[in-house]
Structure 1
Amino acid sequence: MPKSAKAFSIKEIKTMTENFKQPVGKGGFGSVYYGKLPNGKEVAVKVKAADSKQGVKEFLNEVQLLSRVHHKNLVPLIGYCLDGQEQILVYEYMSQGALHDHLHHPPESSSTSTRQGAGGFVSSRHCSLDWKTRLDIVLNAARGLEYLHKDCKPPVIHRDVKSSNVLLTEKLQAKFGDLGISKQAYEPDTDETMNTTGISTAVQGTWGYMDPEYFTRHKLTVKSDVFSFGVILLEIITGKRAQTQKFPDSEAVTLKQWVEEALEENKLKSVIDPRLRDEYSEEGMLMVVNVAMKCLLPNGVGRPDMGDIVYTLLQALQREKESRTRTSEILDEITIPASAQLTGQHNVEHSVLSPVSSVQPNSSLTMSPR
């Protein structure tokens, strides 16, 4: 039995959930309910679906795997319940739900919503995400995957990387959840072995995010996760869902094709989420676009490692911070002359300010294809 996860009785589960009173989501494993431990800690309780074919051995193997991964950017498993036919997992509750909902559902000013998402734990107050916040979120998520790929021995492949599994705390710290279909890779002799050999397995995952190489070869590698993460990057760039098949003024049928088409025509700005209102560092944006397209290369060997992605996102975030600092300094230099204040007449140059953008006015956001 796993040592780091607490074994709960079904009676304790019913107590913490008030007899499964408040459903907050539904995922591949089953339904998710809100609960509270005796110490007041909020939890998400995932109950196996009645039609699940997972046996006791598989459930315990899953708990064993979840119990041995510990990282600040992975949703921690608190405990489990194996009582008769009941198979239940107890996780930390993520109050701001999933990145997917913040990107693809309109913000709600004050009300709290509950939505069904694959990651569960989805009760959230959606808020609009600016570019820096999006970068912070995907950087945290990337660090969680990097830990699974590099620091776990043998490596762990998530196998269902998607924006609805990037879950957010009250302060919008991102953690990857739903490791239920994760696979342990063989202990590799070299990084090349880990990236190319793969695990023979039945194909599982989510359409729109699935690595085509994994789909055709049935060989799962860490680079399968990298491909899926590249799709998430395109989501934060464009604001479009991964499964979108129709795009304005385009014959593209996938998000990747749409962005590639824009790159070829030097019209990258046309695919960037308009909700960002041009308020981003052009240099940082290009970094993220570039690494996203590398993640989506058809051959997994050519894709970057999660460590490389973390480094690039750190650099992009630094560019964003520098850009915001420059913008702040420019605003500090803008003053209204005392004479204008007295007369109520403002200098036009200083009084009529367009929304400040970190993109330089004389530069065009373009990028040549790789």
Structure 2
Amino acid sequence: MVGSAGKVVVIVVAAGVTSALLAAACVFLAIWLYRRRASVVAGTRTRSLESTTATLRAGSVGFDSSVSISVASQSVADWGQHPLPAAKRAAFWGWRGGNNGRDAPQLLSVSGIPQYHYKDLQKATNNFTMILGQGSFGPVYKAVMPTGEVVAVKVLASDSTQGEREFQTEVVLLSRLHHRNLVNLVGYCVEKGQRILIYEFMSNGNLASLLYGDNKRSLSWQERLQIAHDVSHGIEYLHEGAVPPVIHRDLKSANILLDQSMRAKVADFGLSKEEVFDGRKSALKGTYGYMDPDYMSTNKFTKKSDVYSFGIILFELITAINPQQGLMEYIDLAAIGGEGKVDWEEILDKNLLAGSVAEEARVLADVAYRCINKSPRKRPWISEVTQAISRLRQRQLMKHDTTALPRSETRTVLRRIEYQHVELSDLTGLKELTPMRA
């Protein structure tokens, strides 16, 4: 009996020891798993802080530029209401510590756009003294890089709150938008509290200054038609080539830049947005004289709002009248004309009143007038406007080619021109265009 009782005690003790060992093993396993999970999360957070993830998001609340960029789960959309600490702002732009003991910051690239050091830009702009102009964003300087390349450097004004958001928008958008009629973003700089954008240099400045600014000069009809053609192609790419489509929201002659060959490119995408159809309204943005009246009354900006602004630019090209100095009033007066007929000749630039140029300018004015229809639904799509301008250019080129042709071929070309003119008249008549899409 005693032997049996002893065996029972031994078995109970052994079972207790085994249970205790199993419990201890479970505790150690739980602690190990917890530490492992914590290590993985910490590593993920660290990588998140070091990465620069730029994503376009339609209709960001509180961020008019519609761009949100993730930084450790905090959206740039919140910066306006709750500014990020300096450490997190640095994390967004990929700010890393010194390089091998050196103090110079190493910046990660946003979508592959090169980054420049402030000291290099300071040297290239001769300590920011070679000023080209002043915009709402801030001053623009000419810079000569060590490679000999000439660029334009746009510096965000220190007191500009809207400029901060525009800066973010421009960097993110231009990292994915590439077209021969859009100004190319060469690089950017985020250092010493500065926000700087570096663009390709456009030696002939902007269209506004050429038409009626300090650098005013007489543009030939061929140059004006080419500029209209280039700009329409740039807008068409934004509306129909970019994925998702982009609405510029600030098309104006001051944002049309010209290179040494007088080829035009659309610039300044700080107010641009992706096209959205969520019914949301945004704060009014744009420039007086170019803003769509329907947008001003509804706060809803669409592709047709860009078409309206482009229509105003077309009228600038053929009248050389500043939209902020009564252009719309001149257009309205010419539209009713004498005997109830349109009389664009009354407002044409005096340099365009000779011969066939005046006729072609009137055709372009018809196209422009369709673009500024008060009803967005009745305005043409930008692709239709581009097509009309392309036909005008073809006619212009063919007309010049006839001078070198034998008489028989000249008659054939002239008949083709006459046929194209009939097509243009149909296209630019006062009846409504049938929209390409609803």
Q: TM-score, structure 2 length as denominator?
A: 0.64
SS at the partner of 2:333?
helix
Counterpart residue number, 1:100 = 208
> 1:34-113 maps to which residues of 2 (within 5 A)?
34-54=142-162, 59-105=167-213
Q: Aligned partners of 1:44 and 1:89: how far apart in 2?
A: 8
2:243 equivalent among 146, 153, 159: 153
User: What CA distance in whole angstroms lies between the structure 2 residues aligned with 1:18 and 1:198?
Assistant: 48
- Structure 2 CA distance for aligned equivalents of residues 65 and 151 of structure 1: 14
**Contact 1:229 1:295 (8 Å CA) reproduced:** yes
Q: Does 1:27 align with 2:27?
A: no
Using a 3 Å threshold, how does the CA distance of structure 1 residues 25 and 299 change in structure 2: closer, same or farther?
same
SS at the partner of 1:219?
coil
Partner of 2:347: 271
**Which of 266, 274, 281 is matched with 1:200 structurally?**
281
Q: Does residue 299 of structure 1 match 2:380?
A: no
Would you say 1:324 and 2:432 are equivalent positions?
no
> What code does the residue aligned with 2:275 have?
A
Q: Distance in 2 between matches of 1:128 and 1:56?
A: 37
Give the equivalent residue in structure 1 for 2:309.
Answer: 228
Paired amino acid for 1:80: Y
Task: Indicate yes or no: 2:181 matched with 1:181.
Answer: no
Residue 25 of structure 1: how far off its partner (Å): 0.5
* Structure 1 residue identity aligned to 2:132: V
- Partner residue in 2 for 1:339: none
Structure-2 separation of matches of 1:277 and 1:102: 19
User: In 2 relative to 1, CA 245–281 (structure 1 residues): closer, same or farther, beyond 3 Å?
Assistant: closer
Decide whether the 8 Å contact of 1:287 with 1:312 is kept in 2. Answer: no
Q: How many residues align?
A: 305
Q: Within the alignment, does 1:245 sit opposite 2:301 as a pair?
A: no
Secondary structure of the 2:268 match is coil
The alignment partner of 1:24 has SS state of strand
8 Å contact from structure 2 (residues 247, 303) kept in 1: yes
SS in 1 for 2:400: helix
Aligned mates of 2:162, 2:272 — CA distance in 1: 14
Of 214, 222, 229, 2:295 maps to: 214
Amino acid in the other structure paired with 2:156? K
Q: Which has the higher contact order (CA 8 A, sep 6+)?
A: 1
Q: Any idea what the Cα deviations from partners look like across 1:7-28, whole Å, max 9, x if unmatched?
A: 1121122122121021110111
Q: Secondary structure at the match of 2:186?
A: strand
* Deviation per residue, 1:277-301 (Å, 9 max, x gap): 4154455334312211110011112
Structure 1 residues 255, 178: closer, same or farther in 2, change over 3 A? farther
Instruction: Indicate if the aligned counterparts of 2:156 and 2:196 stay in contact, CA closer than 8 A.
Output: yes
CA distance in 2, matches of 1:278, 1:58: 44
Contact 2:169 2:272 in 1 (8 A): no
Structure 1 gap ranges (5+): 106-114, 116-123, 187-192, 247-252, 332-357, 359-364
Alignment deviations for residues 200-259 of structure 1 (CA, whole Å, 9 cap, x no partner)? 21111111111011111001111111000000111112121112228xxxxxx6243133
**Cα 1:55–1:281, aligned 2, differ >3 Å: closer, same or farther?**
closer
User: Partners of 2:179 and 2:385 in 1: how far apart?
Assistant: 18
Residue matched to 2:331: 256
Aligned twin of 1:12: 120
Unaligned 5+ runs, structure 2 = 1-51, 53-109, 408-416, 418-424, 432-438
Distance in 2 (alpha carbons) for counterparts of 1:65 and 1:233: 26
Q: Which one-letter code corresponds to 1:168 in the other structure?
A: L
Does residue 169 of the first structure (1) align with residue 259 of the second (2)? yes
Q: Provide closer, same or farther for how the CA distance between residues 130 and 165 of structure 1 changes in structure 2, counting only shifts above 3 A.
A: same
Q: What is the Cα deviation at residue 83 of structure 1?
A: 1.3
Q: TM-score by structure 1 length?
A: 0.75
RMSD, matched Cα? 2.8
Q: Which amino acid letter does the alignment assign opposite residue 46 of structure 1?
A: K
**Does the residue aligned with 1:6 lie in a helix, a strand or coil?**
coil
% identity of equivalent residues: 37
Q: How far did residue 329 of structure 1 move?
A: 7.1
More helix by share: 2
Secondary structure of 1:254's partner? helix
Distance across 1 between alignment mates of 2:405 and 2:353? 20
